[in-house]
Amino acid sequence: MKILVIGGGGREAALVHKISKSPRVTRIFCAPGNAGIASHATRVPIADDQIDSLLKFAKENQIDLTIVGPEKPLSLGIVNRFREAGLRIFGPTKEAAQLESSKVFSKNFMRKYKIPTANAEVATLDAAYEKITTMKMPIVLKVDGLAAGKGVVIANNPNEAKAGLDYFRKIGKGTEDILIEQYLTGVEATFFVVADGEVVIPLATAKDHKRLMDADHGPNTGGMGAISPAPFFTPDLHEQVMTRIVRPTLKGLSDEGISYQGVLYVGLMLTNDGPYVLEFNARLGDPEAQVVLPRLLTDWIDLVDAVISHRLDQLTLTWEEQVAVCVVLASKGYPDAPQNGDEIFGLDQIKDSAVTIFHSGTKQEGNKIVTSGGRVLGITALGSDLSEAREKAYQAVGSIQFSGMQYRNDIGK
């Protein structure tokens, strides 16, 4: 089978690595990929949002199956377009991906189908200035559309709320609706499921570490590290999430005439009143994919096949007994102004077979690999428990250097 993977970050590196182990796969292409992905896949120089060019490539190269990593092409309708052209593709349609691409759609949907989520009001940016003066703090402000991790501000008082709205205007979100949401307290966790339009099964749990610095200090990022499974997920909690959130979500979508095929990311706050949805994403997370996929023993192509051909009820997933820890190495200046072009040293020093290096923002320059983006590498280790996996991951991190390298020391602690 010839596979095309769309995207070029750490999540896609983990996907390509996983797919490369499938005996059913003869060749992998990745558009656009990165320097590390090139060891398993042929890179295709097409950006992930160039739907026409991606479709043309898939047709001309007789791609048997396309797997979409990031949210952008999903929100642009890549799945609709490929399907209309008779091509096999894994991921939700544009309509289904609205659960991620519009926070207002998602909030209204959750309200309608009584899925536990924070109370929220919707306002234009201008009207939001008025509205925040009447609200009990703290609040969470969110822009409606995709914002690559920049669209959420937590405000503890009216001044911070006003500054948050000013910031949204500054980053060009002035015309979008704003969600003004009640602040929830609890433990955050991610719950992944896979759906084939009718059947939905749990995939895995994970925990992301979103703030830049240790002990959750510093700005929000795309994710500085992750662990899987999430340690506090009891069987009872698992069942609560399936019963109160996952099944009603798939049923609600179906009532709206939307068939959800693909991975659904359920971002949860585990509160004293049970699990609440913070956000839905229409895809695997990054870095979460870098801890979920290395634990999965089932062939990813078998899973994708089961989804596309509506046979998910016949699939049983099998997993490594081990746990996974991923530490992200980010470039100098991340997340505000990442610096590019710094040579990365030590990539060939890591010999431990329990460790995998997933590239994300990297570029080949002659014989060198250099930084090219905010999050540069994800170092994933498997271990019999969290402390063993952590130890192996951090030992490997110690072998790698580049100028201005930033990482957290407390992933999985």
Binding mask 290-329 toward ligand GLY (x if CB under 6 A, else -) reads ----------------------------------------
Name the binder of 140 from ligand AMP, ligand GLY, none, CB < 5-8 A by kind.
ligand AMP
Q: In what order do the strands lie in the sheet with 139-143?
A: 120-123, 178-182, 139-143, 152-155
The two tokens of residue 33 are 């990929």
Residue 288 within binding range of ligand GLY, rule CB under 6 A: yes
Q: How many CB atoms lie within 10 A of CB 167?
A: 13
The option from ligand GLY, ligand AMP, none interacting with 183 (CB < 5 to 8 A, set by class) reads: ligand AMP
Any idea which residue has 């911070």 for tokens? 160
Which of 222, 225, 262, 294 contacts ligand GLY by CB under 6 A?
A: 222
Pick the piece of the chain touching ligand AMP (CB under 6 A) from 28-36, 181-189, 334-342, 357-365.
Answer: 181-189
Using CB under 6 A, which of the segments 129-137, 176-184, 244-252, 372-380 binds ligand AMP? Answer: 176-184
Size of the site for ligand AMP (CB under 6 A): 12
CB of 6 to ligand AMP, least distance (A): 22
Tell which residue, 226, 180, 236, 177, has the closest CA to residue 205: 226
* Secondary structure (DSSP) of 134-198: GSPSSEEEEESS--TT-SEEEESSHHHHHHHHHHHHHTT-TTS-EEEEE---SEEEEEEEEEESS
Contact, 237 vs 270, CB < 8 A? yes
Q: What is the DSSP string of 332-364?
A: TTTTTS----PBPB-GGG---TTEEEEESSEEE
Least gap, CB of 123 to ligand GLY (angstroms): 25
Maximum separation of any 2 CA atoms in the chain, in Å: 60
CA distance to 29, 105, 366, per residue, from 341 (Å)? 25, 39, 12
Token pair of 238 as six digits: 């698992």
CB-hemisphere CA count at 13 Å for 159?
0
The number of beta carbons lying within 10 Å of the beta carbon of residue 85 is: 12
**Does residue 188 belong to the site contacting ligand AMP (CB under 6 A)?**
yes
Region from 14-22, 182-190, 292-300, 403-411 binding ligand AMP, contact rule CB under 6 A: 182-190
Instruction: Rank residues 19 and 266 by Cβ distance to ligand AMP and give the closer one.
Output: 266
* Smallest distance, ligand GLY to C-beta of residue 285, A: 3
Among 80, 281, 331, 380, binds ligand GLY (CB under 6 A): 281
Residue 184 contacts ligand AMP per CB under 6 A: yes
Is residue 279 a contact point for ligand AMP (CB under 6 A)?
yes
3-state DSSP assignment of residue 125: helix
Q: Which does 184 bind (CB under 5 to 8 A by kind): ligand AMP, ligand GLY, none?
A: ligand AMP
Q: How many residues bind ligand GLY (CB under 6 A)?
A: 7
How would you classify the pairing of strands 178-182 and 139-143?
antiparallel
Rounded Cα distance, 205 and 266, in Å: 9
In the complex, minimum distance from the CB of residue 280 to ligand AMP, in angstroms, rounded to a whole number: 9
Q: Interface with ligand GLY by CB under 6 A: which range of 57-65, 82-90, 131-139, 285-293? A: 285-293
Q: Is 210 in the site for ligand AMP (CB under 6 A)?
A: yes
Could you say which residues in the range 131-190 bind ligand GLY, by CB under 6 A?
none
Restricting to residues 60-119, which ones interact with ligand AMP according to CB under 6 A? 118
User: C-beta of 107: minimal distance to ligand AMP in Å?
Assistant: 10
**Is residue 152 involved in binding ligand AMP (CB under 6 A)?**
yes
The one-letter amino acid code at 355 reads V
Q: Is 223 in the site for ligand GLY (CB under 6 A)?
A: yes
- DSSP secondary structure string for all residues of 21-35: T-TT-SEEEEEE--T
Q: How far apart are CA 293 and CA 368, in angstroms?
A: 28
> Could you say which of ligand GLY, ligand AMP, none residue 144 binds, taking C-beta under 5 to 8 angstroms by partner kind?
none
Judged by beta carbon distances under 5 to 8 A according to partner kind, the member of ligand AMP, ligand GLY, none in contact with residue 222 is ligand GLY
Q: Which two tokens stand for residue 164?
A: 């948050």
Binding site for ligand AMP (CB under 6 A): 118, 140, 142, 152, 181, 183-184, 188, 210, 267, 278-279
